[in-house]
A and B are shown apart, each in its own frame.
Chain A
């Protein structure tokens, strides 16, 4: 029954001590590297390698995996591999491996351009049945730009005044808007046009009061499938329809005279990353 020879092959206290010193030195080196500006660009690979070495030393020697039955290693490494897979899968899914994610966030102000007359009409028609219909249309890929078609159908109150159109997009397939900050002049009628550049995701653009309202409205929206995930909530200032991938659509509304606002995509699960500040200028 005594098939392995664990104890006789286990390292001596001197080996354990050497490992302890090495672990301490690597940790000290990691902290030192933080303060070396010239290594800034290589910091991720350096830290990953250094912590992997520390991890492996503890697992192999302190946890005796190097000397024990390989079945133990299999159990542990399987869990480790799955965990690593989960981390990478989530990072890729949420676009967190993209450029600049860990740098200081670049705040891009909304570019305000004067919309042409054809864009100055209202797209913000809140027709739920229409919504369902158009979604079905687009599932077949038959129509390419429903926003403009809708615009023709849905022109109403703001047709008399010339409005400003602000465009906002998505970061491709990532669950982010391409702007973290937008602004509008108090009292103005403006059109916000959402250009959905995603390949598969539907998005909307909902303007809500800043603070807890964003999360509350997004949570309520999770059960509002029939209204394009937009809940019936008086606090919502304006919202676009649910925009299909590759398409665009807008909403025209009067900018509130004061207060702090945020915009958010209320498609279930998107609100955690797809939001930004809407600033009101005087």
Chain B
């Protein structure tokens, strides 16, 4: 069976497509980017100015668990769309990738609701205290990544209607998929370190 990574028309010294190497190098650097954001959140945890909203008052675990579930399932849809295109099934590819984008947009909807709730209901903004600053920066940058991902997925969906997205172009989908899964695993870490552990340790349920 043809190997999609190497069926792209140019030879490289490693035998690996440079675009795929590039996305992995990029994702490696993204790990450090999010690592420092999460570390900052943890370092300043519990250092809010007295009298301002605390994580335990505002974090809503049931809602965030639901949005986490949505994002995890979007990863499944993504891998299914990759599976479809690598078998040359463009019709199924379109269905799955549209589902992925819709779930991604749903996740963003949850985040919009959460941010709005924090700002309007609790008066917590990035300027309120260290918790607000670090929370909105960390989850906001993740949300920005999801937004880029949704645009990327919809673009691929539209691109497929030009008729030249065949199984030979699986790499295009592969790279978008890697980015999308990465955004998913980052959320797995954020959900645990930003939401679950602080709330769990403090008995905030």
Contact = CB atoms under 8 A, between A and B. Distances in A.
A51 B186 CA distance: 10
B58 interface: no
B3 A83 contact: no
The contact size tier of chain A is 35 or more
Contacts of B138: none
B25 interface: yes
Contact of A75 (B24, B35, B42): B24
Contacts of B16: 69, 71-72
Interface residues of chain A: helix, strand, loop or mixed (majority): helix
Given A2-B3, A96-B42, A86 B35 contact: yes
Interface of B: 1-6, 11, 14-16, 20-21, 24-25, 27-32, 34-36, 38-40, 42-47, 50, 61-62, 65, 68-69, 72-73, 75-76, 78-80, 83, 86, 130, 177-178, 181-182, 184-185, 188-189, 191-192, 196-203, 205
Nearest to A3: B15
A96 B45 contact: yes
B202 A102 contact: yes
Interface stretch (A14-22, A163-171, A183-191): A14-22
Interface string A34-69: 110100100110011011001100110111000001
B146 to A, nearest CB: 15
Contacts of A141: none
A51 B189 contact: yes
Contacts of B39: 86-87, 90-91
Nearest to B72: A23
Interface of B is mostly: helix
Nearest to A2: B3
22 contacts: A1-B11, A6-B4, A6-B5, A7-B86, A20-B73, A34-B196, A37-B203, A50-B192, A62-B76, A62-B184, A63-B181, A63-B182, A69-B14, A72-B20, A75-B24, A75-B25, A79-B30, A79-B31, A83-B36, A87-B35, A272-B44, A272-B47
Nearest to A23: B72
